[in-house]
Homo-oligomer: A and B are copies of this chain.
Amino acid sequence: MEIGNLGVTAARGFQAAGGSAGIKKNNTKDMALIYSTVPCVAAGTFTRNLVKAAPVKWDQHIVYDCPTAQAVVVNSGVANAATGRQGYENCEETAKEAAAVLQIPADSVLVASTGVIGQQIPTDKIKAGIHMLAPMLSDSKEAADIAAAAIMTTDTRSKQASVSIELGGKTVNIGGMCKGAGMIHPNMCTMLSFVTTDAAISKEMLQKALSGVVDDSYNMISVDGDTSTNDTCLVMANGLAGNPEITEENEDYRLFAEALFEVNRALAKMIAADGEGASRLFEVKVIHAASKEQAVTLSKAVVTSTLTKAAIFGRDANWGRILCAMGYSGAEFDPEKVDLFFKSAAGELQIVENGIAADYSEEEATRILSENAVTALVDIKMGEAEATAWGCDLTYDYVTINADYRS
């Protein structure tokens, strides 16, 4: 399945726009609008953080209680989190304004925010932004690119992925964009991610497919171990592909779910690779685990370990930190059976055999760890389950970015 870089306009009937509404300083792009020419079924997964931002609560209402959705209003700069009742009312006001401008029902407008916690969103600027963006809506790739750029915060590059599959003789397109670089340790879903598709699929099946996808994509990445208050992943399907509607777990459903997974995994890996200050993507794959849960626990503990991340930055094969992180993860395993390999485009090298140092060359290890993407492959020799987690290294720039983020 080939992953393209088209974004939210890859699927028929979806339009996008992005621009500066003056929320951020210096005319930086800070608002995006996604619109479908026909009503969609929508699915979503949201942060499990007890402190949920107002837009998360609003979107949960739309996704769980309302039959269709047709637009998403996104702003960066201010997260609208820890903003109380006023914050929620501001979501409602935003949705109503977009509904009036786009001539759709207010309860079919999703909203999303990312940025500083604790400030109210400037509703005047956001309402003006909606009026500015609506006439610019376009199904072009350029429009998707601008929207993807407008939702960035500390991201250094925009993130888009797409795929096309055949269902019942019809071409079905899936495209998405996401943002996220810090406060990345999703639990249930992640950051902001918007995926659109022209597949014909029931709301129930769409939610089922999405829920099955996030556990192996967004929920397997970590930049800093901090689960955000705003994590949101939304998928909208408008049916314009004309495929036989998916209403049960048949072969079409499985193919669609796999395509949805590929797009979301690609987006998730982009977030990990663009982690705040990151200089390389760090992948941790645990194989031969007794259960999926065990493999997930171990791989996430390693990818989240501050000391391991610092060693990856230093291209230092400090494998003791990896074993140490596995040891405190809470998962049961036999440390004296662990094999560990480092892999990258430069080669593969066994570092640990049965829990103790293998006879390897430090120079060769450093050479392998100098690539842009490096993998730690851990074999715990217990069963057939496996899991892969993605993160990044810990660098000086991470500290720079986060020491005074609000200034």
Contacts and interface: CB of A to CB of B under 8 A. Distances in A.
B51 A326 contact: yes
Contacts of A51: 323-324, 326-327, 335
Given A324-B51, A326-B50, A332-B50, A318 B226 contact: no
Nearest to A313: B403
Interface in A74-95: 79, 81-84
A319 to B, nearest CB: 6
A119 interface: yes
Interface size class of A (residues with CB under 8 A): 35 or more
Interface string A343-380: 00000000010111100000000000000000000000
A117 B313 CA distance: 18
A242 interface: no
19 contacts: A48-B328, A50-B333, A51-B324, A79-B320, A82-B323, A84-B336, A117-B323, A117-B324, A226-B305, A226-B328, A227-B324, A229-B320, A310-B399, A310-B401, A310-B405, A311-B402, A316-B404, A394-B399, A394-B402
A315 B88 CA distance: 30
A324 B228 contact: yes
A292 interface: no
Given A310-B401, A311-B403, A315-B404, 5 more contacts: A50-B335, A183-B321, A314-B404, A396-B399, A396-B400
A156 interface: no
A79 B319 CA distance: 13
Contacts of A25: none
Contacts of A118: 319-320, 323, 352, 356-357
Contacts of A119: 357
B82 A402 contact: no
Contacts of A406: 316, 318
A396 B307 CA distance: 14
Contacts of A315: 404
A55 interface: no
Contact of A321 (B226, B307, B320): B226
Contacts of A400: 396
A107 interface: no
Interface hub of A84, A307, A331 (most chain B Cβ within 10 A) = A307
Contacts of A399: 310, 313, 394-396, 398-399
A327 B405 contact: no
Given A117-B321, A313-B399, A323-B117, A227 B328 contact: yes
Contacts of A316: 403-407
Interface in A211-253: 224-229
A80 to B, nearest CB: 11
A54 to B, nearest CB: 11
A304 B400 CA distance: 18
A272 interface: no
A224 B307 contact: yes
Interface string A33-75: 0000000000000001111100000000000000000000000
A260 interface: no
A116 interface: yes
A327 B50 contact: yes
A327 B398 contact: no
